[in-house]
Amino acid sequence: MFNFIRNKRITVTGGAGFLGTYLVQQLKTAGVENIFIPKIEDYDLVNMNDVRRMYEDSRPDIVIHLAALVGGIGANQQNPGRFFYDNLMMGVQLIDVGRQLGLGKFVALGTICCYPKFTPVPFKEEDLWKGYPEETNAPYGLAKKMLLVQSQAYRQQYNFNSIFLMPVNLYGPGDNFDPQSSHVIPALIKKCAEAAKMGKDEIVIWGTGKATREFFYVDDCAEAIVLATEKYNKSDPVNIGASFEISIKDLVHKIAELTGFSGKIIWDSSKPDGQPRRCLDTSRAFHEFGFKAKTNFDQGLKKTIDWYLSANK
């Protein structure tokens, strides 16, 4: 099935991270033997000299670019300049050096934050330019979106084969649970589990709970990336996700129940909700490379919580 990628040398930036760990395992399952993971301690991909050295050391046929500086609403609000610069420079330099060296294929991971704040639901790829992103994460979203512009421009001028995938919010075992930088599901799991353990009678959650989100199990995302790397060769952006939405309020109640927290939930409406709604149209991914998410949300959430509880006994 994976005839294109099987004998290729593949470099996975961010390969030691949350999604990267799952992707590397999926690549191995697909028969890829030559995988290079540039560690952050060895290569600063914001630095052009390190980007060039990474290419020299790994000599890839394909680069899958997962490395990113990411975080939740709070981290984005505190670091808008750094989130813009680091994410832009990593991607722009990796694509340009790859183009100079005749790289066979570049797979760029974008983000759901590329979309305008008030995108009609479900989000369709053709709506990507119909407005400005949600303010709290716009610098990050726009930095990533520039890789789509670069991808399309380089295909037009240099016939450079790069693709641009936009995953929705990821979750799963092994996620980042650091309260300074974690996304919504791990942040809520940690908050509810700790409150239950300490016998607290209430927790405070940012926002109103009315916003909706779509969540995508990390192993499903890894599968989508492998399929796209194997089969997709156009610069049109592609949504990858699970095609459903849940309100933050319902999500909090599910997590509270699964972690054993039975106290009061207080909503701090002085804090931002972020984008009002998120849910993707994923028909292009299915049509172009046959991807459809497999993992039921309740099952995936339970696996994630069970992993966290066993890791934090």
Q: Looking at residues 76-91, what average pLDDT do you find?
A: 93
Give the pLDDT mean for 176-201.
91
Those residues with Cβ within 8 angstroms of residue 130's Cβ, 6 or more apart along the chain or in another chain: 116, 119
Task: Using DSSP, state whether 12 is helix, strand or coil.
Answer: strand
Q: Is 232 a catalytic residue?
A: no
Percent with pLDDT over 70 in the chain = 100
pLDDT at 313 over 90: no
So what's the pLDDT on residue 272? 84
Domains of the chain: 9-169+217-241+280-293 (3.40.50.720)
Look at the alpha carbons of 207, 131, 77, 87 in this order and tell me if their dihedral is positive or negative: positive
Query: Quick one: pLDDT at residue 183?
Result: 83
Q: How confident is the model at residue 33 (pLDDT cuts 50, 70, 90)?
A: very high
Reply yes or no on whether the pLDDT at 141 is more than 90. Answer: yes
Q: What does the pLDDT average to over 170-196?
A: 91
Provide the pLDDT for residue 52.
98
Task: Work out the average pLDDT over 288-308.
Answer: 97
pLDDT at 72 over 80: no
- Do residues 163 and 4 touch, judged by C-beta distance below 8 A? no
Residue tagged active-site, from 22, 43, 55, 140: 140
pLDDT average, residue stretch 281-300: 97
Q: How far apart are CA 242 and CA 220, in angstroms?
A: 9
Q: What is the pLDDT, as a whole number, of residue 273? A: 86
Cα–Cα distance between 146 and 110 in angstroms, integer?
9
